[in-house]
Structure 1
Amino acid sequence: MASRGAAIVQELQKFTTCDVSDALCKLGRRRGGFLPGLTMWSPQRQDGPTRIVGPAYTVKYVPLDDPAPKHPTHYIDSVPAGAVVFISCPPRTANAVYGGLMSARARARGAVGSVVDGRFRDLHEQRELNYPIFARDVGTAPPGPVLKVSAVDVPVKLQQGDADADADDIEVRPGDYLIGDVNGVVVLPAELAEPALPLMRRQVEADDRMAAAIRDGMSFVEASAKFRG
């Protein structure tokens, strides 16, 4: 990871996914970078202080009959240190596309967590590893009978869920920053990281002052006008 990228990751670790989304909304991203449908499964289910931050290392699964050739090597052996592994797969895939051995190798490579836009398996192993997993759901069957990896480190589109009609407009690109915590997962485009960081700082400072004023009896409207402007 380049030194500037490492500095950005260090700064992002100070903020929640909500802080990142607030800044992205101010920069014109109406959805705030939120990746709907992805929640924390490990090391705990939607609980605890777990937070992951890192550049995306993307993996694209496609159906076996897709004309794209199968990726020649296993993607897990090329995960960069400090990365968040992002696994993309076709919608409504019942088979899991990620398992415990993948996390063991990812951890050995220095990855900080994995985000699975689909199902994963071996939940007990993930938790034994204390490895962060964000995903749509769990499963049991491996991907081999129905899917193959066609590409690594390419832009991928988020699955479209039943309640997420516009999710197919959301893209995760290699090197974009992925931030995950108990609130969910947010993608921060690499080119927006530097302009977003000062917005996050100002927002958090304003909200801290606003919270203190509300605790002291000030109304929400008054506090918002005074500290948010």
Structure 2
Amino acid sequence: MSEPHDAIITALQKYTTCDVSDALCKLKYRNGGFLSGLTMWSPQRQDGQTKIVGPAYTVKYVPLDDPSPKYPTHYIDAVPSGSVIFVSCPAKTPNAVYGGLMSTRALASGAVGSVIDGRFRDLQEQRALEYPIFARDVGTAPPAELLKVAAVNVPVKLQTHEQDMEIRPGDYLIADLNGVVVLPFELAEQALPLMQKQVEADDKMAFEIRKGMSFTEASKKFR
């Protein structure tokens, strides 16, 4: 990763997904970058201090009858260090598309976590590895009877009818207890100062509210 890229990742580490979303809302980016339906499963289920930040490395699964050729190698062997793996599969797929051996290889490659837009498996193994997993749900069967990987590092769509959201290679993915947010890489430098300003304002509001000031008055004063 380039130095500016590294600097942005370092700067993002101190902000929550809510902070990132607030900044993106100010920039009029839809839904504040929130990717609905994806929650933390490992190393704990919606608990603890786990947070991941990194550029997206995307994986696209498609049905076996899709005309796209199968990707010639296994995507997990090319995961860049520092990246967040984002695995996309067709909506309502009952089979898992990601497992424990994938995380073992991802850890060895230096990935910081995986976001599965679908089901994953081997939850005990994921937790034993203390590897961060955010996903829609768990499953048991592997994907081979239904799906194939068609592409790696291409734009993918979030698999939900709730939103029309795209995740592109290199976009920043931030995930914590609040969920998963995508920060488009071209908006990162604009968004960071807005996050800082918002956090400072919220801290001042919280201080005054604890002393008895109303929320309305604090909002007017600091926002």
Shift of 1:29: 1.5
Which residue pairs with 1:114 in the alignment? 114
Shift of 1:28: 0.5
Query: Is there any run of 5+ residues in structure 1 with no aligned partner, and where?
Result: none
Which residue pairs with 2:65 in the alignment? 65
Q: Deviations over 1:125-179 (max 9, x none)?
A: 0000000000000000001111000000000000015xx2xx2x20000000000
Matching residue's letter, 2:203:
D
Matching residue's letter, 1:174:
P
Match status 1:171 vs 2:166? yes
Which residue pairs with 1:101 in the alignment? 101
Q: How many corresponding residue pairs? A: 223
Which residue pairs with 2:84 in the alignment? 84
Shift of 1:2: 1.0
SS at match of 2:11: helix
SS at match of 2:81: coil
Match status 1:14 vs 2:9? no
SS at match of 2:130: coil
Pairwise CA RMSD: 0.5
Query: Is there any run of 5+ residues in structure 2 with no aligned partner, and where?
Result: none
**Alignment of structure 1 residues 89-168 onto 2, 5 Å:** 89-161=89-161, 164=162, 167=163
Matching residue's letter, 1:195:
Q
TM-score by length of 2: 0.99
Matching residue's letter, 1:144:
A
Once residues 30 and 146 of structure 1 are traced to their aligned partners in structure 2, the CA distance between those partners, rounded to angstroms, is: 32
Once residues 114 and 160 of structure 1 are traced to their aligned partners in structure 2, the CA distance between those partners, rounded to angstroms, is: 18
Matching residue's letter, 2:104:
A
Matching residue's letter, 2:60:
K
Once residues 141 and 73 of structure 2 are traced to their aligned partners in structure 1, the CA distance between those partners, rounded to angstroms, is: 21
Q: Deviations over 1:23-82 (max 9, x none)?
A: 000000140000000000000000110000000000000000100000000000000000
Once residues 220 and 160 of structure 1 are traced to their aligned partners in structure 2, the CA distance between those partners, rounded to angstroms, is: 35
TM-score by length of 1: 0.97
